[in-house]
Structure 1
Amino acid sequence: MEDKKTFKWAEYIFIFAFMVLIVSFSFTFMPFSLFLITLIPLPILIATYRHNTLPGVVIATLASIFFAYFLQDSTLVILVIAMATVGVGIGNAMKEGLSSKKVLIIGIVSSLITMFLLGLGLSLVTKQPLSEFYKETTDRIIEDITKIETTNEANIERVRLAINTFTLLLPSMLITGAVLIAGINFMAGSSILRKMGVPNVQALPPISNWTFPTWLSITYFILWPLSLIGTFPPVVSIIIKNLHSIVRWFLVLQGLGVLIYFLNTVRVPNWLKVIILLPVYLFSSWFLGFIGALDPWLKYRGRVRLYKEELEKEKEKDKQD
């Protein structure tokens, strides 16, 4: 009995250390390490699933106290507490034995709540509305870039354009960001729990099997030209562009699934797959989106599967001959 208690406490300490490491490394190798921010809920998810909601909340609180005491950074405290919401939400949903779709939906809702909490926390810390804080931050960025001697007017204009685009597409970025946070933590959490020997853990299907409804592709081909037309009223134009951005992002995931499926048919090491996929996703997402949009009609994966089956049949015939 004491051995079990000792093991449980050791696991709590390990999960706490794991969370501190994730948060610490999230800001170490900027901007590449920012991806780790999405994994902050992961230790809380594991603690909630393995034990209960209370240990998960306690670990998040201790991590917040740790950063508040040693780094005296209120932003990190807000980030840890807010992101813990996602871990608690997904962990409890998985523990209840809900279907993977329901777990993902709960994770997305939890992620949106997290973003609201982050915004509320920043507003309380800075003692000003988020809109004013955002405007002040963007003005400071442009001012700092203007002070750099090597910066020309064209570069400053590009930064202004990037900030305007970010502001315009912020609603769609919040939604896709919520889906990304929920999906990554669900996939990583179920994988880790299975490796820990936990039976019957819910999991999403492999990315190579992901397919979305045909109506999503039809919507994409309708919204794409509409997003390029500048004759709509400003509000309508913003709605169209945000809807186009959301639909396109899902089709990029479908295109990524198609590409992963192709790579799985070839004997390629996993590290080489990552080297191939990462630049394609980062720099040619339009290509993945186009592949994903055409997938419901061209059925790439089905064609490859049939081709492989035909090859196997031919091999069997050759053996018989």
Structure 2
Amino acid sequence: MQRKISTKAIVEGALLLGILVILSILTYVPPFSLFSFILLPTPILFAVFRHNLKVATMIGFLSVITLIIVGIDPISSLINGIYASFIGLALGYGFVKKLKPTMTLIITTASLLTAILLIAFLYTTFLEYNIVEEILDLQVQLLESIAERIQETRPPVEEQGDRELFIALTREEIRYIFPGLLVLAATINSFFTIGLTRIILKKFKIETQPFPKFSHWRFGDWLIWTFVAAQLLPIFLPQTKQIAYNVTQVALYGIILQGLAVIYYKISEKIRYAAIKVIIILIILFIPILQSIAMFIGIIDFFWNFRRI
């Protein structure tokens, strides 16, 4: 026999629905827009904690209808509802099931990517507005702007090579690497969303499993073998070249991140001040040759754990 939703769930659900609607409306108020958008998944998350996925999903659906009734345009209401529901359900499921932080990160990232694709589909279908093309336009404009700045500040002998380097990334080439960039952006967004959510839950005396310290970050062997497979796949299946390239980029950043974690671990043995350690890591991250060294350290760390030395 199907279990009915209790009166308590209805009352608390209505309260959480009201909070979600208020947060959605505040996303249109400039001083509060960004902060409100970040907090959108929170009511859905609490619905999962207090009740179950069914109640949480219902709140997300009803929030869209309520926003349309109060006068917010349907597409924006749907976008807020999709974002809040997908991320809130993913976070709630990960925390309630007490999954490892990495698994919660994977689920949240996958949910965010799904939400982005669904939102892009809605924009293209109902508004005839291509978000992907708009992002590509912004990227091309940014590269051209940087190239112009270089041309203004460098002597003629140096400027030509640098300008060609930036202009070489044409629209089609940016489109080529766009999937990998999207995955990286979604992963970073999910990481910070999980961190912020943990802070909020801690205020309500809800304990969650934290990520390991950065110095102890060490990915599974699957990452290095994914990197190797992405290198080999185009040799046997040339039609997978774009997929393999984007997978390579994502895996490569993971390897570099592991190398940076090793370096952070080692410099922590000599340097006490966190600010200095962070500055060193940022310098390594933004200087290509040092970044390459971090990559090689990351690769070696998969086979030989530097932290045991």
Given the two structures, how large is their TM-score scaled by the length of structure 1? 0.62
Instruction: Give the 3-state SS of the residue equivalent to 2:169 in structure 1.
Output: helix
Residue in 1 that maps onto 2:113: 112
Structure 2: distance between partners of 1:260 and 1:19: 42
Residue in 2 that maps onto 1:186: 194
Residue in 2 that maps onto 1:248: 252
Instruction: Give the 3-state SS of the residue equivalent to 1:171 in structure 2.
Output: helix
Q: 1:193 to 1:246 in 2, by over 3 A?
A: same
Structure 2 unaligned residues grouped into runs of 5+: 1-10, 152-159
Q: 1:49 to 1:189 in 2, by over 3 A?
A: farther
Q: 1:253 to 1:157 in 2, by over 3 A?
A: closer
Structure 1 unaligned residues grouped into runs of 5+: 29-35, 304-321
Aligned ranges 1:55-134 → 2 under 5 Å: 57=60, 80-84=80-84, 85-100=86-101, 102-127=103-128, 130=130, 134=132
Q: 1:163 to 1:265 in 2, by over 3 A?
A: farther
Q: 1:266 to 1:113 in 2, by over 3 A?
A: same
Is 2:278 aligned against 1:274?
A: yes
Name the stretch that deviates more: 95-104 or 56-65.
Answer: 56-65
Q: Is contact 2:259-2:296 (8 Å) kept?
A: yes
Q: Is contact 2:45-2:91 (8 Å) kept?
A: no
Q: Deviations over 1:81-105 (max 9, x none)?
A: 3321112221233124445454334
Residue in 1 that maps onto 2:294: 288
Is 2:42 aligned against 1:43?
A: yes
Residue in 2 that maps onto 1:211: 218
Structure 2: distance between partners of 1:283 and 1:60: 46
Residue in 2 that maps onto 1:173: 181
State the percentage of identical aligned residues.
Answer: 19
Structure 2: distance between partners of 1:188 and 1:195: 11
Structure 2: distance between partners of 1:247 and 1:146: 28
Q: Is contact 1:82-1:114 (8 Å) kept?
A: yes
Given the two structures, how large is their TM-score scaled by the length of structure 2? 0.64
Structure 2 residue identity aligned to 1:296: F
Instruction: Give the 3-state SS of the residue equivalent to 1:205 in structure 2.
Output: coil
Q: CA deviation at 1:186?
A: 2.6
Q: CA deviation at 1:248?
A: 0.7
Name the stretch that deviates more: 165-174 or 268-277.
Answer: 268-277
Q: 1:208 to 1:186 in 2, by over 3 A?
A: same
Instruction: Give the 3-state SS of the residue equivalent to 1:169 in structure 2.
Output: helix
Q: Is contact 2:24-2:37 (8 Å) kept?
A: no
Structure 1: distance between partners of 2:135 and 2:101: 39
Structure 2: distance between partners of 1:189 and 1:143: 35
Is 2:164 aligned against 1:161?
A: no
Structure 2: distance between partners of 1:99 and 1:180: 17
Q: Is contact 1:48-1:92 (8 Å) kept?
A: no
Q: 1:63 to 1:250 in 2, by over 3 A?
A: farther
Structure 2 residue identity aligned to 1:290: F
Q: Give the root-mean-square deviation of aligned CA atoms.
A: 5.0
Structure 2: distance between partners of 1:255 and 1:63: 48
Say how many residue pairs are matched. 279
